[in-house]
Structure 1
């Protein structure tokens, strides 16, 4: 009998990671205006800079780039088969930076470096920290971020690795935010953008109820997750959960909440930094996602007319707005997402 060689990919387990390990992810993906059209079909996305070449050109850019979260989803999707195929949970994000806009015709690929490992006390799982980078066809890093996931062990009896927990910044320094070359908001048109509220109209501690809601549909979630080539079994295979339900990709919730935030933050045009993020509770088909924001900080940039605003974006599936955690510090059951990010806004 000929020898059978395993050719399929079962994904990495906790024992397969080591500190300093670099993983080059398949498959490169060329993105174009089709991604923009599909993104705007899946989410109520209407920030002017990503909707209109003419508006982008009036702000100093050569054309309208693809939405910043398109870059995030494409890069994230590349990492799933190697980082989170056997994950029990995607736990958090930190130190995210958008370094260059994504233009139609760019080809994106990804690589990750393992920067932390910690076995859980149950011996069944462990936490893996990776720093992932998205690169374009010129080998320029366009996006980088740290995320950590809880991954199953192949053999619970195997030895635990030495614990290494990376020291991550709680907040990106505004001086480290990268403003796209040429961006200039001195001729910014409030009317075309959709709202009059500029950076000076927001105050630290202010909260904004974004009012609108969108009910998550199974078909749209499946289409989005396939579009980003995310292969996580929990999003596709109903047999992975005892209740037979498919878990909504957390990035789908991020994009939905970000686009809902247009109502009240229409001029927060570009995401340039991700300070922290947690998927607080699972989201399922039929849940109606709503969002609210809190202004955490503001900062100047060196670009003409361009300021930065730090926002907490919270997605919920009901519950009163502006409620987040209980007295013990645990997220309330209706909270889906808690995201801390920097965006660029006209001053």
Structure 2
């Protein structure tokens, strides 16, 4: 009897089942240091205890995407070990700040299934929730993944495609109770721009580019305990390349966005996201943002809805005349961020 885990295939999922993922992980300052070493991350709230204290926090919380990657990484052996591709995200909500010393675990509920017409794979939708050591939710999001079938002859399940909100409502944003920008230091934050300085439709070219090296994306994927074969095993793809973990591209683009959005201090929700084209070592990634909406959530605190695009190409270029993503576009991420009003 085999004791190893080959991962789940499409026919192994049942609508409504809840999967409790191994292994809980206690996060420390080491994760923050490694994250800042991997990405040019400079957002003040997550870099400085002193700055965070002036904003009403108990100290500098860990980067929102550290939380996302940790919760996501727990799900990989049960959800995407045999994935063809991670297709998208929706309804992501950061529910509670996470600090060094907190322990996170993950659970996922299967909320949708649809076999592809070729009979070789299918799409699985899951709603994943990350919990801390007090069993309080810190993050919730939906993602959908294309997963291989083990037995192509097995009958397809009844197709169920969940209805997902296009945008997380302002009323559903979990703004930390103690957060305040009353004594916000714009000089130390790096830029003077408030939410009121941005206009809907504005395109921000973040200017800088970063070339991804094989070693760094391998280190990043191991850091988040992501075991998906496409990221590690060069024999898993016919072209012999290891696919860059999509979360690595998200973090890189978010870090690059500091130049122009330095005061977008916290990602509070992910409305949607797509990994438009594969990314490989040697690619030089640039980023640009589009302002989609601006809303006040509390006196002195605003939420900026932003489209963050990671690309090998030019700022502002997203889709061709056919409506499809341009081949240089790697990521299209729609999110809410908190900043001084």
What TM bracket, shorter-length normalisation? over 0.9
Separation in 1, partners of 2:79, 2:326: 28
The answer to whether the aligner puts 1:6 opposite 2:2 as a matched pair is yes
| CA-CA distance at 1:271 after TM superposition | 0.2
| CA-CA distance at 1:170 after TM superposition | 0.4
Report Cα offsets for 1:3-58 as digits up to 9, x if no partner: xx111000000000011010000000000111110000000000000000000000
Report Cα offsets for 1:48-105 as digits up to 9, x if no partner: 0000000000000110000000000000000000000000000000000000001110
The answer to whether the aligner puts 1:315 opposite 2:315 as a matched pair is no
TM-score normalised over the length of structure 1: 0.98
TM-score normalised over the length of structure 2: 0.99
Separation in 2, partners of 1:286, 1:239: 19
Alignment of 1:214-253 (within 5 A): 214-253=210-249
Alignment of 1:47-126 (within 5 A): 47-126=43-122
Secondary structure in structure 1 of the residue aligned to 2:50: helix
RMSD, matched Cα: 0.6
Separation in 2, partners of 1:53, 1:14: 45
Secondary structure in structure 2 of the residue aligned to 1:113: strand
Separation in 2, partners of 1:320, 1:31: 37
Structure 2: segments with no counterpart, 5+ residues: none
Secondary structure in structure 1 of the residue aligned to 2:235: helix
Secondary structure in structure 1 of the residue aligned to 2:58: coil
| CA-CA distance at 1:181 after TM superposition | 2.0
Partner of residue 273, structure 1: 269
Partner of residue 321, structure 2: 327
| CA-CA distance at 1:328 after TM superposition | 1.2
Structure 1: segments with no counterpart, 5+ residues: none
Report Cα offsets for 1:144-173 as digits up to 9, x if no partner: 000000000010110000010000000011
Partner of residue 192, structure 1: 188
Alignment of 1:5-44 (within 5 A): 5-44=1-40
Separation in 2, partners of 1:78, 1:189: 37
Partner of residue 258, structure 1: 254
Separation in 2, partners of 1:223, 1:131: 27
Aligned equivalent of 2:204, options 192, 208, 213: 208
| CA-CA distance at 1:322 after TM superposition | 0.4
Separation in 2, partners of 1:298, 1:178: 16
Runs of 4+ in 1 over 4 A off after TM superposition: none
| CA-CA distance at 1:107 after TM superposition | 0.2
Separation in 2, partners of 1:11, 1:328: 37
The answer to whether the aligner puts 1:169 opposite 2:149 as a matched pair is no
Secondary structure in structure 2 of the residue aligned to 1:223: helix
Secondary structure in structure 2 of the residue aligned to 1:73: helix
Partner of residue 131, structure 1: 127
The answer to whether the aligner puts 1:305 opposite 2:297 as a matched pair is no
